[in-house]
């Protein structure tokens, strides 16, 4: 009963925050539409994420690790494991700016789609070669402007918590632009918003900023090793975070090298 009541409250405060933030974010989107970094609209999107998550007593978020000192002025390709739809709300608490790549279907959702558009995120139509190329070109412009780009390299949320194989797109982008990979490990959000569930869960969650991985001097032949090294580092940290949070970890097998996947 408590969780259901707090879930209803969370829906209500989410709706109220949306009504308050949408016009401001719409104005920011209009005023900064020519900025390739979309820094200001993105900052408003993260304020929305922090505000709504701070207002619900169901979610208790922590941030660990130190981001690179130049992350506020240098482009990074930021990658993280993907547990649930609550991940962006947890990542909104990170102390640096990012521009997100997200599947196009999310932009068609009521309210959240408008928020993502106004927040300056980059849509991707999966399986469409032209869309992938357009998305990557926009991501390159963003990185060149000194703004990190955020990608979930699994491409979708895991159904059982196991870390899925990483796709190549994020690592190809980093190698093309000669920018570092910034790995993040997160745990606990799966209970915040389980996949296919319409209800919010009562959960603790942590995101940990890991040490960046440089790509300068590497070529496309190094992509599989870069991808697998990043995945192994994230998987190891996720296992430790889940242990600390008291969750059973189905992730042991995910420490094995995954099968290569060349798609975004």
At 189, the pLDDT band (50, 70, 90 cuts) reads very high
pTM summary value: 0.90
Greater confidence (199 vs 109) lies with: 109
pLDDT at residue 199 greater than cutoff 80: no
**pLDDT in the model for residue 256:** 44
Q: Report the CATH number at residue 65.
A: 3.40.1130.10
For residue 246, being part of any structural domain is answered with yes
* Sequence-ordered alpha helix ranges (H) in the chain: 2-31, 39-55, 87-91, 112-118, 129-144, 169-177, 189-192, 223-245
Cα separation, 190 vs 192, whole angstroms? 5
**pLDDT in the model for residue 257:** 40
Q: Which residues of 224-243 are buried (b: 16+ CB within 10 A; e: fewer)?
A: eebbbbbbbbbbebbbebbe
Domain that includes residue 199, residue range: 2-255
pLDDT tens digit sequence for 90-124: 999 999 999 999 999 999 888 899 999 999 999 99
Per cent of the chain over pLDDT 90 is 73
For residue 24, being part of any structural domain is answered with yes
pLDDT tens digit sequence for 216-258: 999 999 999 999 999 999 999 999 999 999 987 666 544 444 4
For residue 264, being part of any structural domain is answered with no
Cα separation, 252 vs 249, whole angstroms? 7
**pLDDT in the model for residue 184:** 98
For residue 263, being part of any structural domain is answered with no
- CB atoms < 10 A from the CB of 5, how many? 9
For residue 158, being part of any structural domain is answered with yes
For residue 178, being part of any structural domain is answered with yes
Average pLDDT over residues 183-201: 84
For residue 159, being part of any structural domain is answered with yes
Beta carbons within 8 Å of 126's beta carbon, 6+ residues apart: 103, 104, 155, 264
For residue 262, being part of any structural domain is answered with no
Per cent of the chain over pLDDT 70 is 92
Beta carbons within 8 Å of 34's beta carbon, 6+ residues apart: none
Rounded mean pLDDT of the chain? 90
pLDDT at residue 263 greater than cutoff 70: no
pLDDT at residue 129 greater than cutoff 90: no
pLDDT at residue 194 greater than cutoff 70: no
Q: How many domains does the structure of the chain reveal?
A: 1
**pLDDT in the model for residue 255:** 42
**pLDDT in the model for residue 6:** 82
């Amino acid at each position: 009963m408590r969780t259901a009541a707090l879930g209803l409250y969370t829906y209500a405060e989410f709706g109220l925050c949306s009504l308050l933030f949408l016009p401001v974010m719409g104005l920011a989107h209009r005023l900064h539409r020519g900025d390739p970094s979309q820094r200001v609209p993105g900052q408003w999107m993260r304020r929305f994420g922090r505000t709504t998550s701070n207002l619900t007593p169901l979610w208790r978020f922590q941030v660990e690790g130190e981001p690179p000192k130049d992350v506020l002025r240098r482009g990074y390709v930021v990658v993280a494991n993907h547990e649930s739809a609550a991940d962006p709300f947890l990542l909104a608490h990170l102390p640096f700016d990012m521009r997100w790549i997200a599947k196009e279907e999310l932009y068609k959702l009521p309210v959240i789609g408008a928020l993502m558009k106004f927040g300056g995120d980059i849509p991707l139509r999966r399986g469409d070669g032209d869309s992938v190329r357009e998305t990557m070109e926009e991501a390159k412009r963003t990185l060149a402007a000194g703004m990190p780009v955020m990608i979930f390299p699994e491409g979708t949320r895991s159904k059982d918590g196991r870390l899925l194989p990483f796709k190549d797109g994020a690592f190809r982008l980093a190698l093309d632009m000669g920018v570092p990979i910034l790995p993040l490990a997160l745990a606990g959000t799966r209970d915040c918003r389980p996949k296919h569930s319409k209800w919010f869960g009562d959960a603790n969650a942590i995101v940990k900023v890991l040490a960046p991985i440089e790509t300068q001097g590497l070529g496309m032949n190094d992509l599989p090793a870069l991808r697998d090294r990043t995945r192994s580092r994230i998987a190891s940290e996720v296992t430790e975070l889940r242990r600390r949070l008291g969750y059973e970890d189905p992730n042991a097998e995910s420490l094995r090298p995954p099968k290569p996947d060349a798609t975004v």
